[in-house]
């Protein structure tokens, strides 16, 4: 009896723990919690009722109360599989099955006065001649649970097949000792099975949620890239004769950032994530030109002072446009990074740039990298107002402007690796 008591206590503790976890867990809907709590609560009631009847302390005067307790147990036990099928997501089916299996309660109540299924006498509990009715309901309930698990398994692409097998083994291991050796460990087996189901199915749900989040993030990233590419190409087609400026400047900024990190220049800031954002968002650097008229963008000659002042507005407007385009489909880090590139890539190291006349490291690192890439490509590209410059001459200008227009540290990295930048510039 000590062993039996320990088994019941362990069952109750396990179910209390599972009940508390369900009640406190924020990852379930109210419907899911209801079915899980019904399952674990019913196991506790059934195990407690089983112990009350078979604990070895019996008095004939307890017969009436023990009969009521046993009716509750015999009515709830076949419903355990139904409750858990509801917890696994088969809500509608579980509600219907609950009504069907509730017929067992009526049968138990009707049979109790006659001792047909069970009865209590002077010696204690005994099975009735029709005890098989309870066994049939109980067996059908277990089969119903296994079928429900197989049905739910389709949603998880049958990744749960091993769990179904383990549960079947545990249930059989719990029932056989009672049949063969009169050793009652049925409810601990049911408790273990329910806990296995809960843990494994919840894990599968979380895996699928994570996969869905990753897929959604990929869709959002794809949307972001499409918007960035579309807007950049729109501006590029207005401002230049070719569509290569965007792809080249992206290649330049990635190369410059990677070489700077390798050379120990701003290595603590140039993380993989930083370089990814830089490469992805570089095409947005001139998005502010959307507000500049074609008469200025495509003017074949030198701009007047007034026209140049108008042209410079694209930098300050660029950050605003970026936020309007990307707001709602990305996070603040992404927005700030893109806005910095668009707003500050015309600032100069010596503080004479625009739009805010920032100087040195007041200028975001992303914009300082973008400045070198943008100017180098602009110098070697043919525009409606100028001829293309040989890459070697453009390199000389970068060298001359280091410490004035450009961050001297980044300019040195560019010059140290100029052959690789020139190679990119000469690709078709």
Q: What is the pLDDT of residues 197-229, one digit of tens each?
A: 888 888 877 777 777 777 777 776 676 666 666
Instruction: State whether 394 and 338 are in the same domain.
Output: yes
If you average pLDDT over residues 297-312, what whole number do you get? 85
Look up residue 199 and give its two tokens: 């843990």
Three-state SS for 124?
A: strand
**Cα–Cα distance for residue pair 387/354, rounded to 1 Å:** 25
Q: What is the pLDDT of residues 100-109, one digit of tens each?
A: 888 888 988 9
- Rounded-to-5 percentages of helix, strand, coil across the chain: 75, 5, 20
In the chain, the number of structural domains is: 2
CATH of the domain at 278: 1.10.3210.10
Instruction: State whether 389 and 341 are in the same domain.
Output: yes
Q: At what angle do helices 30-54 and 186-239 cross, to 10 degrees?
A: 170
Q: Say which residue, 206 or 274, is predicted with more confidence.
A: 274
Does the predicted model carry a pTM greater than 0.85?
Answer: no
C-alpha distances in Å from residue 326, one per residue of 200, 278, 289, 365? 39, 16, 17, 21
**Cα–Cα distance for residue pair 326/159, rounded to 1 Å:** 38
Instruction: State whether 269 and 180 are in the same domain.
Output: no
Instruction: State whether 276 and 384 are in the same domain.
Output: yes
- Ramachandran area for residue 47 (φ above 0: left; ψ -120 to 50: alpha; else beta): alpha
pLDDT of residue 241: 46
**pLDDT band for position 307 (50/70/90)?**
confident
- The answer to the question of residue 46 being in a domain is yes
pLDDT of residue 399: 95
Look up residue 182 and give its two tokens: 């009169």
pLDDT of residue 144: 86
Catalogue the long-range contacts made by 129-133 (C-beta closer than 8 Å, 24 or more residues apart): 133/104, 133/107
**pLDDT band for position 19 (50/70/90)?**
very high
pLDDT of residue 268: 95
**pLDDT band for position 139 (50/70/90)?**
confident
Q: What is the pLDDT of residues 56-114, one digit of tens each?
A: 788 888 889 999 999 998 888 888 888 888 888 888 888 888 888 888 889 889 998 88
Residues 118, 128 contacting (CB under 8 angstroms): yes
**pLDDT band for position 242 (50/70/90)?**
very low
Chain mean pLDDT for the chain: 85
Domain boundary among 195, 212, 229: 212
Listed in sequence order, the DSSP H helices in 156-243 are 161-181, 186-239
Q: What angle do CA 392, 397, 400 make, to 5 degrees?
A: 125
- The answer to the question of residue 17 being in a domain is yes
pLDDT of residue 231: 66
Residues 299, 384 contacting (CB under 8 angstroms): yes
Listed in sequence order, the DSSP H helices in 25-76 are 30-54, 63-76
Instruction: State whether 305 and 160 are in the same domain.
Output: no
Instruction: State whether 187 and 253 are in the same domain.
Output: no
* Residue 329 predicted with pLDDT over 80: no
- The answer to the question of residue 228 being in a domain is no
CATH of the domain at 151: 1.20.1070.10
- The answer to the question of residue 226 being in a domain is no
Instruction: State whether 249 and 396 are in the same domain.
Output: yes
Helix (H) or strand (E) holding 313: helix 305-326
Instruction: State whether 53 and 190 are in the same domain.
Output: yes
Instruction: State whether 336 and 187 are in the same domain.
Output: no
C-alpha distances in Å from residue 228, one per residue of 90, 217, 248, 284? 44, 16, 15, 6
- The answer to the question of residue 231 being in a domain is no
**pLDDT band for position 240 (50/70/90)?**
low
The least confident of 122-136, 233-247, 308-322 is 233-247
Torsion angle defined by CA atoms of residues 259, 265, 269 and 270, in that order, rounded to the nearest 10 degrees: 0
* Residue 159 predicted with pLDDT over 50: yes
**pLDDT band for position 1 (50/70/90)?**
low
Domain of residue 117 covers 2-212
Q: What is the pLDDT of residues 332-388, one digit of tens each?
A: 888 899 899 999 999 999 999 999 999 999 999 999 999 999 999 989 987 766 788
- The answer to the question of residue 315 being in a domain is yes
**Cα–Cα distance for residue pair 141/75, rounded to 1 Å:** 11
Q: Per the omega criterion (within 30 degrees of 0), is the bond before 355 cis?
A: yes
**pLDDT band for position 414 (50/70/90)?**
very high
Largest CA distance in the chain: 115
- The answer to the question of residue 281 being in a domain is yes
Instruction: State whether 244 and 198 are in the same domain.
Output: no
**pLDDT band for position 428 (50/70/90)?**
low
């Amino acid at each position: 009896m000590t062993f039996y008591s320990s088994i019941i206590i362990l069952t109750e503790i396990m179910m209390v723990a599972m009940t508390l976890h369900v009640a406190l867990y924020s990852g379930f809907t109210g419907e899911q919690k209801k079915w899980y709590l019904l399952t674990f609560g019913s196991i506790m009631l059934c195990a407690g009722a089983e112990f009350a009847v078979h604990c070895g302390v019996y008095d004939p005067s307890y017969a009436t109360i023990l009969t009521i307790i046993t009716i509750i147990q015999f009515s709830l036990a076949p419903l355990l599989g139904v409750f858990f099928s509801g917890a696994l997501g088969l809500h509608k089916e579980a509600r219907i099955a609950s009504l069907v299996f509730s017929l067992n309660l009526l049968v138990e109540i009707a049979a109790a006065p006659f001792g047909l299924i069970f009865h209590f006498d002077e010696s204690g509990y005994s099975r009735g001649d029709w005890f098989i009715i309870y066994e049939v309901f109980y067996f059908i309930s277990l089969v119903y649970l296994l079928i429900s698990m197989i049905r739910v398994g389709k949603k998880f692409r049958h990744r749960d097949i091993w769990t179904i097998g383990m549960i079947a083994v545990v249930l059989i291991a719990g029932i056989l000792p009672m049949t063969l050796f009169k050793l009652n460990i049925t409810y601990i087996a049911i408790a273990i099975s329910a806990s296995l189901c809960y843990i494994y199915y919840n894990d599968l749900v979380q895996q699928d949620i994570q996969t869905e989040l990753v897929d959604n993030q990929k869709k959002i990233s794809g949307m972001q890239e499409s918007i960035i590419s579309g807007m950049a190409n729109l501006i590029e087609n207005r401002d230049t004769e070719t569509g290569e400026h965007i792809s080249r400047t992206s290649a330049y900024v990635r190369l410059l950032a990677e070489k700077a990190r390798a050379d120990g220049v701003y290595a603590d800031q140039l993380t993989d994530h930083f370089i990814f954002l830089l490469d992805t968002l570089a095409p947005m650097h001139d998005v502010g030109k959307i507000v500049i008229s074609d008469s200025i963008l495509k003017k074949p000659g030198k701009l007047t002072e007034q026209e140049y002042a108008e042209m410079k507005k694209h930098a300050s407007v660029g950050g605003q446009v970026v936020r309007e385009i990307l707001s709602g489909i990305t996070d603040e880090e992404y927005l700030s990074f893109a806005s910095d590139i668009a707003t500050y890539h015309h600032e100069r190291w010596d503080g004479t740039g625009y739009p805010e006349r920032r100087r040195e490291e007041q200028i975001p690192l992303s914009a300082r990298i973008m400045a070198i890439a943008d100017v180098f490509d602009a110098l070697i590209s043919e525009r409606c107002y100028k001829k293309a410059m040989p890459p070697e001459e453009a390199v000389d200008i970068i060298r001359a402007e280091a410490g004035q227009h450009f961050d001297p540290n980044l300019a040195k990295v560019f010059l140290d690796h100029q052959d690789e930048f020139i190679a990119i510039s000469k690709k078709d």
